[in-house]
Structure formats: structure tokens, C-alpha cells
Amino acid sequence: MNQPLPKLAIIGGTGALGSGLAKRWAQAGYPIIIGSRSSEKASLAAEEITSQNHTISVIGTDNHTAAVQGEVIVIAVPFSSHAEILHSIKDTVSEKIVVDTTVPLKPPKVGTVQLPEAGSAAIITQQLLGAETKVVSALHNVAAHKLHDQEPIDCDVLVCGNIKTAREVVIGLIQALGMRGLHAGPIENSVAIEAMTSVLITINRLYKVADAGFKITGDLISGEKENI
């Protein structure tokens, strides 16, 4: 018998990225809990999604309750409030997979790589939540608006984290969004992928596109025995 799909809590799920993820994962059959600083705002965001498709499961609540109820937690908030929001849910996520999408952008120069002193947003997340939380970083290079339409998304998603089985769960979630997820090594490697977002923003501007992304070339063969 198939295992039920895990409940996904999206912290900041009212925003551009989080609401797109909520829609696509809900359509793929995952039960979704949208988290917000305001439970009313979260409920409205959930109703907006379910009004387009009554067969899917999306509810809204405050960030802390969402993190308590979710089995996999997705962080989709701006870097400016990332640490504060992580502190507010820290007591709920021990042992869980936390998918961090945060890019450490510092407006207005979002097309310039400006990394935090700690190294990357994902390193901050792992430090704040502690080693017992399975932090996996992903989705930094996917333009949010692409998640909101029904078209296939033609790019790869590089997935970093210290626990291979947790990365595998996230790669499955990325496949459910309609993209290919690839193992990209430990959480320390997230810095390169987070930095790429500013490069893609610059390419978008210079070449007048809205959705530059990237794909890894080559016939990739999964290294089942590799424990990295």
C-alpha cells in the first residue's frame, strides 16, 4: 500500500514563491498548510488556491501552528526576516526536514552577490535550528512566477544538505513540482547556488527575460553507493 504523502507546511506561503509552491504541490496531491505572520492572511491565501480546485487540500494558519502541524517545513520568507522567523518556529522542527529557499539578497543591489558573514542563508538556518534538524537548501534559482502557471518548468534544481535521505525526500518534492532535482552535496555548497540567483537576476536584466535558469549537462548516473 502506498504511504500517504507528507503534510507540507510553507512558512511565508502567502508570498510569491510560497504560494506557487503551495499550488503545484497541492495539485500533485500533497496536503498543504500555508503559514503566515497573520492566520487570517494565510486562510485567505489558502481559500484563493482551493477556489480554483476544490479537490485539493490547502489550509492556512499562523507560521508556528503550520510548523507544528507540518511534517516537512518549507521556508519561503525574505532574508531580512529569515532569522527572526526561524527563531519563532525553532521549537517545532527538531528532527524534521526543513527546506530552505532563502536567497540572501540585499536590496536594492539584488543583481550583485552579497553573502552574509556566516557564509550563506542555509548555513545560518542549520546553525539556528541545530544539527538535529535536517536542513536541505533548494529552489533558489526558480522564478516564482513559473510555478504559478501550468507549464512544465525547464530547469534543474540543485539540492544541498548534510543528510542524503533528507535530500532524496526533497528531490522527490521537486519532481512533484515538475522539475529535476539533483544532489549537490553538503549544506556548505549552498553558498554557490544562492549566489547564482544574483547572477540569474543580472542575466534577466541584461537579456530582457524574466526566467533565466540553468540545467546541468551530461548523462547523469545516480551514484547510489556514494554517501555524500
135 near ligand NAP, rule: CB under 6 A: no
Residue 79 to residue 131: CA distance in whole angstroms: 21
Element (H, E) at 175: helix 164-177
Residues 6+ apart with CB under 8 A from 48: none
Q: Which is nearer to ligand NAP, 4 or 154 (CB)?
A: 154
Closest residue to bound ligand NAP by CB:
15
Decide: residue 25, CB within 10 A, 0-12 exposed, 13-18 middle, 19+ buried: buried
179 near ligand NAP, rule: CB under 6 A: no
Select the residue interacting with ligand NAP from 27, 102, 120, 198 (CB under 6 A): 102
Distance of CA 97 to the CA centre of its chain: 11
103 near ligand NAP, rule: CB under 6 A: yes
Footprint of ligand NAP on residues 6-35 (CB under 6 A)?
12, 14-18
Select the residue interacting with ligand NAP from 140, 169, 170, 191 (CB under 6 A): 140
Tell me which stretch binds ligand NAP (CB under 6 A): 46-54, 141-149, 150-158, 160-168: 141-149
Select the residue interacting with ligand NAP from 37, 64, 148, 180 (CB under 6 A): 37
Q: Look at residues 31, 65, 68 and name the one whose alpha carbon lies nearest to residue 46.
A: 31
Q: Which is nearer to ligand NAP, 65 or 101 (CB)?
A: 101
CB-CB contact of 74 with 142 (8 Å):
no
Distances (CA, A) of 114 to 45, 117, 121, 193, 194: 32, 9, 11, 13, 10
The SS3 of residue 93 is coil
105 near ligand NAP, rule: CB under 6 A: yes
For residues 72 to 91, the per-residue mask of contacts with ligand NAP, x marking binding by CB under 6 A and - elsewhere, is: ----xxxxxx----------
User: Binding residues for ligand NAP, per CB under 6 A?
Assistant: 12, 14-18, 36-38, 41, 76-81, 101-103, 105, 139-140, 142-144
